[in-house]
Each structure stands twice: as C-alpha cells, then as structure tokens.
Amino acid sequence: KNASLNDAILMAGNLNVLKGPIYLTRYKSDGDVETRKIKFKLSNRRGSKNNPILKDGDIVNVNKNGLKNFNEIVRDLTFPFVPIYSTYKLFD
C-alpha cells in the first residue's frame, strides 16, 4: 500500500544502467486502460507524474534497451560455438 513506482522498481532489485523504457498500465474504474511511458530517476518526487503512487491492479513493465537486446542476441548466436572452440584449442 502507498508504494510509489520507484519503490516498486527498487524492491524488484537488479536495477542497472541497461534498463529500457518503463511503462505503467493502469485499469480505470470506468473500464478504460491507460498506458504511460515513465522516465525513471531516483530523484523523482513521490506522487509526481514520473513516480506515481501505485494502485491495486497496476502493471509495471521495465523493458530492455537496444544494447542489452543486442548483447543477448550475440550471446545466443555464439553460445553453441564456444564449447567447440574451447575443445579445439585444447587439442591445438
């Protein structure tokens, strides 16, 4: 109760420089859905536009940025070759 967006992100842990955009999805009482892109800063004032107080049912998505996505793709593509190369170098 009474947690702000920053509180929730900090409690989730693993806050790093490579985080991407943050989206807050809120279901309103009239049935509408509001999705906002949030600019995260630790210094955002509690209750402000970029650090709102969360309500029951709010969904917070912290996406990956482009560099992190690129790194994961490269890792996934090269992973099968690392053991093969290591074994080759062992007998070389």
SS3 22: strand
Give the mean pLDDT of 25-40.
91
Tens digits of residue pLDDT in 53-89: 999 999 998 876 656 656 667 777 777 777 777 777 7
How far apart CA 22 and CA 40 sit, in angstroms, is: 7
Would you say residue 47 has pLDDT above 90? Answer: yes
C-alpha distances in angstroms, 48 versus 54, 63, 75?
11, 21, 38
Checking if the pLDDT of 39 tops 70, the result is: yes
Q: Which residues contact 57 (CB under 8 A, 6 or more apart)?
A: 26, 27
Per-residue model confidence as pLDDT tens digits over 6-32: 898 888 776 665 467 889 999 988 989
DSSP class of residue 4?
A: B
Q: Is the pLDDT assigned to residue 45 strictly greater than 60?
A: yes
